[in-house]
Structure 1
Amino acid sequence: MKRLFVVFIMMIIGVNTWAQEEKLHWLTNFEEAQKISKEEKKPILMYFTGSDWCSPCKMLKEDFWDSPDFAVRSNNFVLLYIDEPRRTDIITPEQREYNRSLGRKFNQKGVFPNIVAFNYRGKVIGSINGYSMLRDTERHFTFVDSILENNN
């Protein structure tokens, strides 16, 4: 009986570790995201970040994007990652210029972090920016839940 209990506990630990290591599927091309969004009738979450310099972006990644609660919701979205790092070795010069062009169009104030939501028809349906130093994700979860409720 003890062996069975130990095996059971090891299985639970293994499943939990596997689930926590599951990564989100981020796209880096808006046109590709639009195509998938239209085919699958899913909203797009376009995430503007400064991955190597923006402290609120780093905290949002850890607290929100990497959370099990968001992982559950993520299958209902097409995720689009628009990084504007300061280091030049993180993305290619072409990707940097592409990301900046999207920023000029959809993040005109240059606020980081910034999330812009689109319905599957390509219309902007909402946005949220910033992140509390108190590390409270409630506002972000409320935002993504409202996008799911109103996706049409």
Structure 2
Amino acid sequence: MKKIFLVALFFIGLSAAQAQELKWYTDVKEAIKVSKKEKKPLLLFFTGSDWCGWCIRLQNEVLKTPEFTKWAKESVVLVELDYPRRAPQSDEIKKQNNELQQAFGVQGYPTVYFANATVNKEGKVNFEGLGSTGYVAGGPTAWLAVADPFVKNAALKEKTKKSKKA
């Protein structure tokens, strides 16, 4: 009886762990492809993952919670744009992240931008900003209350575009 219980507990834990995992893209062009396919806006998380106290706090209090996980899976494509001091990064990722930091005018961390993006024929990315936020005290409920309207506005804009084309 104990073995059956332990095996059942193992599988429940395994499925719960898999359900909690979110896909965070580091390549913005790959994330844009997924965004277009899934018809979801991008959540661009500008962070100093290994040195920024407020970034770490946002991760622990919001981004790693079941509430955020559920919302994110339904609502956005996640992009982490990291500016670490100790963790190694490829030159390509550093270049991409620095260009995006300048394009969005990010001056402090954490900064979270919501955007739709398109890639033109020349491969140039154009972003349509939907809003931004940072750390919000009060856990996932408070943070999502700030973030969710940006996503809902994105869906409304998409619906309006489609009705104008028809």
1:126 aligns to 2:145 (yes or no): no
Aligned residues: 145
1:144 aligns to 2:142 (yes or no): no
Task: State the partner residue of 1:35.
Answer: 33
- Using the size of structure 2 for normalisation, the TM-score is 0.73
CA contact (8 A) 2:65 2:140 kept: no
State the shift of 1:94 in Å. 2.6
State the shift of 1:99 in Å. 0.6
- Alpha-carbon distance in 2 for matches of 1:60, 1:78: 18
Report 1:99-110 matches (<5 A). Answer: 99-106=97-104, 108-110=105-107
Partner-residue secondary structure (3-state), 2:43: strand
Partner-residue secondary structure (3-state), 2:139: coil
Gaps of 5+ in 1: none
Report the identity percentage.
29
State the shift of 1:75 in Å. 1.5
Report 1:45-84 matches (<5 A). Answer: 45-76=43-74, 77-84=76-83
- Using the size of structure 1 for normalisation, the TM-score is 0.79
- Alpha-carbon distance in 1 for matches of 2:21, 2:51: 22
- CA-based RMSD of the aligned residues comes to 2.5
Higher relative contact order (CA 8 A, sep 6+): 1
2:16 pairs, out of 6, 13, 19, with 19
Gaps of 5+ in 2: 119-126, 159-166
The structure in which a higher percent of residues are helix is 2
1:116 aligns to 2:107 (yes or no): no
